[in-house]
Every structure is written in C-alpha cells, then in structure tokens.
Amino acid sequence: MLRFIFRLAAMVALSISVIMAVIDTTRSVAASALVMTPLNTSWLAVSPDTRAAFETYVRAKASPLVWDGAIAWVLDQPGFAVFAVLAFLLYAIGYRRRRHAFAPTN
C-alpha cells in the first residue's frame, strides 16, 4: 500500500512537471527565447499565502540558514525540473524490484 502511495505521488509530480514544461515551452515560443520559470515565481502566482506561510514555518521551526541556503536555492530552479526530480525520487522509493528466479542449468 505504501509503495502505491509513493508511485501515485510520483505520477502527480510528473504530471505537474509536464504541465509546467508545456507552459514554459509555450512562453518560449511566444517570446522567441528560452523561458524557464522558477518554482518560486510559479508558487507566488498560484498561492502567495501558502508560500509566505511555508517560509514563516521553515524559518521558525528549522533555521533561517535552511531557508536561505537550501530551500531558496530549490525555489530558484525551474519548476518543471524540481517536480521532475521529485517524481523520480518518489518513484524510486516506491519501486518494486522484480525477483529473478534462477533455474539450475544442466
């Protein structure tokens, strides 16, 4: 059951990644230049309240260094790339390895 949840989350993250990539591709074609929207910009456009609440939470519970160092760097990356990496990691966690049955050879 837990593997299913991770694979489902991976599929959702991959879907978001594809949507963000299509949006960036459309903007790139319209601008005749490469456009890669940072995750922070996309998040602020969709829900600025949750972005501010997340920053406040991380700064209060962890450390301002965590926000300024790691999380701010991730938020500055293109959104489609962040969600693609997240999808890969979630799928890798939920992946079930196939066991190979080895038959004795004569």
- Evaluate whether residue 59 is within a structural domain: yes
Which pLDDT does position 16 carry in this prediction?
96
Q: Is residue 101 part of a domain?
A: no
Q: What is the pLDDT of residues 64-76, one digit of tens each?
A: 888 888 999 999 9
72 and 42 assigned to the same domain? yes
For position 38, what pLDDT does the model report?
95
pLDDT for res 67: 87
Q: Where in the sequence is the domain holding 69, given as residue range(s)?
A: 38-77
Distances from the Cα of 102 to the Cα of 97, 99, 105, 106, angstroms: 15, 9, 9, 13
C-alpha distance from residue 33 to each of 20, 27, 29, 79, 87 (Å): 17, 8, 7, 18, 27
pLDDT bracket for residue 63 (50, 70, 90): confident
Q: What is the pLDDT of residue 105?
A: 65
Q: What is the count of structural domains for the chain?
A: 2
How much is the pTM? 0.82
Q: Say if 71 falls within a structural domain.
A: yes
Q: Are 64 and 13 within one domain?
A: no
